[in-house]
Amino acid sequence: MPAERVRGVYAISVAAELVSMQVQNLRVYERRGLVEPSRTAGGSRLYSRDDIERLHRIRELLAAGLNLAGIGHVLALEHEVTRLRAENAALRQRDERA
């Protein structure tokens, strides 16, 4: 994963504006474990490009009627599917070379 996608660069107010959410919602999503922004030495939250995309996905799932617990499950399952697809692709490449 490119470093620029996971490096925290957006302050919470900027992140909230980018995803059309309230700052307090981003804090709630962090407390619920739905997003994990990095922190500065002084404790300020910094959101990465990946965090912004995750917040967009959270907004989509909220609009679809899911509650935060359901969103947590969906995000975990989506992450697992991505991991398994990458593992499957790696195994296929290995088999093709053999």
Tally of structural domains, the chain? 1
Q: Which two tokens stand for residue 89?
A: 């692709």
- Looking at residue 2, its pLDDT comes to 66
Distance CA 44, CA 60 (A): 26
- What is the CATH classification number for the domain harbouring 49? 1.10.1660.10
Map residue 20 onto helix, strand or coil.
coil
pLDDT attached to residue 6: 81
| Stated pTM of the model | 0.86
What is d(CA 22, CA 2) in angstroms, rounded to the nearest whole number?
Answer: 28
Structural Rg of the chain based on CA atoms? 16
Residue 71, pLDDT score:
98
**pLDDT tens for residues 32-83?**
999 999 999 999 999 999 999 999 999 999 999 999 999 999 999 999 999 9
State the DSSP code for 44: -
In this predicted structure, what is the pLDDT of residue 8? 86
Residue range(s) defining the domain that contains residue 10: 3-97
